[in-house]
Amino acid sequence: MKLSQLLSKNLIQIGLHHSDKKGIVEELVDILVAARKVADREAVIVATMEREAKGSTGLERGVAVPHCKTAAVTELTCSLAISREGIDFDAADGKPSHIFIFLAAPPGMSGPHVKALANIARLSQNEEFLRRLREAAQPEEALEVINEEEMLPE
């Protein structure tokens, strides 16, 4: 599933206020709460932190993909936050994360959730895409970068 199908400008935040893993997860969830996509904020945070305890979702190249499955959402939901400075998210390569893509899916939903994670993994291989996304000044610009990249043939 493409990010452009899951994201809109109100689900994207440029800049983060927290510099710890739980605080970042809370900010990503709060984006979804504000968009009325989450029924129970605390349940989503707890489920995400439990998933994070099993292994960090900090990937390489400055990308982190915290995610969970919870009954607090009725459909696959996504939020995105960008940190220019970078934040330690226990990434696989030991480097700071700049792009945080959060996914929450209802229990029992595997197909779209797995497809979204696979798409994120594919996108995160493209250094130019990641650079352009990191440099986006506004949510609309970040969405445009994602749309342009996902329109290209794979």
Q: Is 85 helix (H, G, I), strand (E, B) or coil?
A: strand
Tokens describing residue 81: 């936050």
Q: Is 80 left (phi over 0), alpha (psi -120 to 50) or beta?
A: beta
Q: Which CATH code fits 3-151? A: 3.40.930.10
Taking the whole predicted model, whether its pTM rises above 0.75 is answered as yes
- Segment 2-21, tens digit of pLDDT: 999 999 999 999 999 999 99
Measure the CA–CA gap between 101 and 25, rounded to whole angstroms: 10
Q: Is 27 helix (H, G, I), strand (E, B) or coil?
A: helix
- Segment 127-139, tens digit of pLDDT: 999 999 999 999 9
Measure the CA–CA gap between 21 and 131, rounded to whole angstroms: 22
